[in-house]
Structure 1
């Protein structure tokens, strides 16, 4: 599912659009999960619709995908801050974060960070990183 690549010293933006119709639309949660989990856009959308039916929240509502994350091995992390208490821009966070996560970037947007590169349909690296989710493994009941 996930293969770590060698980091060359500079974070990057990588164009990534999982939308099967190639649309540039407000499906950032679906795109980020699809890339992070190595799944198709359609499969992720179907599963989030099922969660939406369970929760009563819209597919891309934070209440909906937060439950999805919790039940699929993603752990919510607090917004990262620098020692001087300033917030990280996405390009800055990519330099120091060694792993993969799905993160709020800017207002109302979600993107996937892996091996110091942001995968998205637009370059969001100037946005501020908010809460993020790290993959810790499948939840065991």
Structure 2
């Protein structure tokens, strides 16, 4: 299931999916979250907080679900994830995108439920 939601304080639709997802999942102010991500990426030696390796390092404290490819079978999609996880808050690393799923609903500026999910972090508060 999908619901349109934009965590950007000015409602802009920009390439800020990592900030939107993390700030929404952790209930953190968007600008504060962006500052923290920039600080942490410099501290860890990354050029971008969109780097997959950075995300794995930054979110390492949270339980991680891995969805491996199975030969001959399609990968799990965002819509499948929402049905399998109707409760809880998750950050989803998808094909070329990062989003948030809260209680079985993907909150994003566009419907990304058709994208494959590679990894999910369960955000425990």
**Structure 2: tracts of 5 or more residues without a match:** none
1:33 lines up with 2:22 in the alignment = yes
d(CA) in 1 for partners of 2:122, 2:68: 13
The question of 1:79 aligning with 2:67 is answered yes
- The aligned counterpart of 2:3 is 14
Could you tell me which runs of 5 or more consecutive residues in structure 1 were left unpaired when the two chains were aligned.
1-11
SS of alignment partner, residue 74 of structure 1: coil
Aligned-residue RMSD, C-alpha: 2.0
User: Which residue of 2 is the match for residue 65 of structure 1?
Assistant: 55
Q: Give the TM-score of the pair, scaled to structure 2.
A: 0.86
Task: Give me the whole-angstrom Cα distance separating, in 1, the residues matched to 2:76 and 2:67.
Answer: 9
C-alpha separation between the residues in 2 aligned to 1:118 and 1:81?
Answer: 22
> Residue 48 of structure 1 contacts residue 64 of structure 1 at CA under 8 Å; is this kept in 2?
no
Relative distance call for 1:124 and 1:55 in structure 2 (3 A) is same
What is the rounded CA distance, in whole Å, between the counterparts of 1:95 and 1:88 in structure 2?
A: 11
Q: Distance in 1 between matches of 2:49 and 2:66?
A: 23
**Rounded Cα–Cα distance in structure 2 between residues aligned with 1:39 and 1:136:** 13
Q: Which is worse superposed, 50-59 or 39-48? A: 50-59
Distance 2:83 2:76 in 1: 10
**Larger Rg, first or second structure (1 or 2):** 1
| CA separation of 1:68 and 1:56: change in aligned 2, threshold 3 A | same
After superposing on structure 2, the runs of 4+ consecutive aligned residues of structure 1 that deviate more than 6 Å are: none
